Structure 1
Amino acid sequence: MIEERLAALEDRLRRLEDELAITRLIASYGPLVDAGAAEAVAELWTEDGEYDVEGWHMRDRGQVRDMVESTAHQSLIAAGSAHFLGPASVTVDGDTAEAVCESLLIRHKDGGFFVWRAGANRFHMVRTRGGWRIAQRVTRALDGSEAARKLLFAPRTIGKPHAQG
């Protein structure tokens, strides 16, 4: 009986540690991308991890790094920006997980700040030797579209990437 209780407690602790690690990974994206830390941002993904955002579909770590190093992104952060990913709802199933959250891109202009973009995000995560990594991230603008709403409220697809919206 004690062994069963201990095993159950260990399972609960591991799930909490996994959820915390995933939450921290997602939260680290904003500061890293706003710092222009291209290699660190790319390391959040698996080698073949995908990032599908507003018509830009990156298919591996190198393409994520290239996005951060791009003239468009460098101009954005040089003018002042803050990528904020809100608290994530995380569901862990063994060595895979899904997380859903909203995001804001805040820009600096004329001495003030304004929300430039709001997004819906769905992450498919996998546990690797180096810890949790993003296997797929899909982001859609929260512009009233069905695609964005589907990312926020859709059946969990643990174990397989989410269908493109």
Structure 2
Amino acid sequence: MLIRIYSYIKNLVMANKKENKTLEERLRNIEDRLEIYSLIAGHPLSADTGADYYARQVYMEDSVFDRGPLPGAKGREAIAGFLQKPEHKQAIAGGLAHFTGLPLIELQGDQAFVTSYLQILTPDIKGEERELPNHGFSKGYRIHRVLANRWSLVRMEDGWKIKTRKLIPLEGSTDATDVLKQGLAIFADQHK
């Protein structure tokens, strides 16, 4: 996977040079990616702490959050409200941990598309306690769910904002595979 990402970045740099992009355009591309990485990296922290202010800052007023088989939300306030629901607070109190993979970013002018994996981890309260040298005892964690994550973002005057987010469980469905394939489309385009 790292080789593929390295190859992608290398091809991106080469494409920027071939397209005769100015240094300013190339720098903007890098800055956009770093801003988007930071925005996406904030999600697990906000979900695991109930920080609804994060959602209010990074989602657009009319954003849509599609959670696949689970109830979704439309609008910034409804999305932020998820983080304050009693059942979400109960999950946080139980040790909820969102763990994401490195997101793949595709920039298209003032739009961006991000594809990533999301694991939802919880303490394994029924697990056997084990010791890890220098790290103490633990019953460990279990993976509750693994999901495909697809975000669409729009550049606004005050930075990148989330327009839509689609979250589909990786349980053998073609919907989840299709979400992941959308992210890989940038590689397919490079081989045409």
Normalised by the size of structure 2, how large is the TM-score? Answer: 0.74
Deviations 1:5-45 (A, max 9, x none): x9611111101110111111111100111011112233221
Counterpart check, 1:123 vs 2:163: no
Name the structure with the higher helix share. Answer: 2
Partners of 1:62 and 1:93 in 2: CA distance? 27
Q: CA RMSD in A?
A: 2.0
Q: Percent identity?
A: 30
Normalised by the size of structure 1, how large is the TM-score? Answer: 0.86
Matches within 5 A, 1:11-90: 11-54=25-68, 55-90=70-105
Tell me how far 1:154 sits from its aligned partner.
2.4
- Structure 1 segments, 4+ long, off by >6 Å, are none
Name the structure with the higher strand share. Answer: 1
Secondary structure at 1:106 match in 2? strand
Which residue of structure 2 aligns with residue 94 of structure 1? 109
How many residue pairs were aligned?
Answer: 153
Instruction: Indicate conservation of the 8 Å contact 1:81/1:105, yes or no.
Output: yes
Counterpart check, 1:133 vs 2:161: yes
- Structure 2 unaligned blocks of 5 or more: 1-19, 126-138, 186-192
- Larger of the two Rg values belongs to structure: 2
Partners of 2:50 and 2:96 in 1: CA distance? 11
Secondary structure at 2:72 match in 1? strand
